Amino acid sequence: MTDDRVCRWGILGAAGIARKNWQAIRHAPHCTLTAVASRDPERGRQFVRECQGHVPFPEPPRVCANYEELLAREDVDAVYLPLPTVPRKHWAIRAAEVGKHVLVEKPVGATADDVREILAACQRNRVQFMDGTMFMHSRRLEAMRRVLDDGQSIGHLRRITSAFTFGGSEPFFATNIRTASDLEPLGCLGDLGWYCIRLTLWAMNWALPTRVCGHMLAEHRRSDSPAPVPLDFSAELFFANGVSAAFHCSFIAEIQQWAVFSGEKGSLLVDDFVLPYFGSEVAFRVSKPVFRFEGCDFNMEDHTQRIAVHEYSNAAPGAQEANMFATFAQLVFSERPDPSWGDMALKTQQVLDACLASARRGGQIVALHEAS
């Protein structure tokens, strides 16, 4: 029998990332978009007109006058919240209180305590929670896990390094919400570092580091921001089993989004772990170079294997963002919320908090329990 159930979505906020996820909802099986709300109804209408003109739904989503109107609708089962981090907590909790399932952008909160409050509200009201870390829904991750765990390609994992950066423009620093501490107090650490931390924890099978060391390489305070936000940040993470990790996130270094997993037998490199390069497949490389010398000849041989997964990078059914909404819909249909997605979010935020606490103490090493 064909499953004809549909998860009916509402979007709270008309942020730029919501355009990408409008399309993701359209391409996700068993999903539709029924309503959109913005603080400015005219902006909401413009958002719907433009998105409907590019990726139309059979029935255009209704534009609500405000967030409460959307949350009161009976034809909305789940809400996607691309709101800024600070106001997001209130509306995530409010959505859970009225029985709507909750998918939020990241970072989930300004602190781990914010995340705990959101998760507690979802648990009390038996609704599904998930954050919008799209790469978690790529089939590439499954292939990477097989390589990391096969015991031969990489061997025992020793080191994880990653970077996610982009160079902001002058208007970005002057007006973007990610440089305003009353909206996005975590700056580049919350916007970009979140992904590096999440990938590291995934590789470590969700074991938390015991200690972290963070470094505030640069901050930025625009004229209307109550406080500066992280602009350029790096950190080291130390795990109980001897594995170490490092990441760099920045609004002043040009685009990078790579990660390297180094082991005793080889290494795994992924160049585009957040936003896959445009195309019909996603890939990574496994490297096991061999150094040979004879007499005066010193030869470094490249023994690299490229492993690819057939999966469109974006804007297609089966892309990671569409998979995210499809997975969420299946959890809604199960009527048994899966708490593991909340656990992932909370652990990511705990590590983020500890890195920031260390940086604010001049790079002092912080035990994770001290910041969580």
Distance CA 314, CA 143 (A): 19
Q: Say if residues 116 and 87 touch (Cβ distance below 8 Å).
A: no
Provide the greatest CA pair distance for the chain.
79
Catalytic residue, candidates 20, 89, 100, 106: 106
Q: What b-and-e string marks burial along 27-55, b requiring 16 or more CB atoms within 10 Å of the CB? A: bbeebbbbbbbbeeeeebeebbeebbeeb
φ/ψ of 354, rounded to 5, equals: -65, -40
Degrees to nearest 5, angle at CA 83 with 78 and 85? 115
Length of the chain counted residue by residue: 372
Distance CA 91, CA 125 (A): 14
State the pairing for strand pair 7-12/78-81. Answer: parallel
Establish whether 106 is a catalytic residue: yes
Active-site amino acid positions: 106
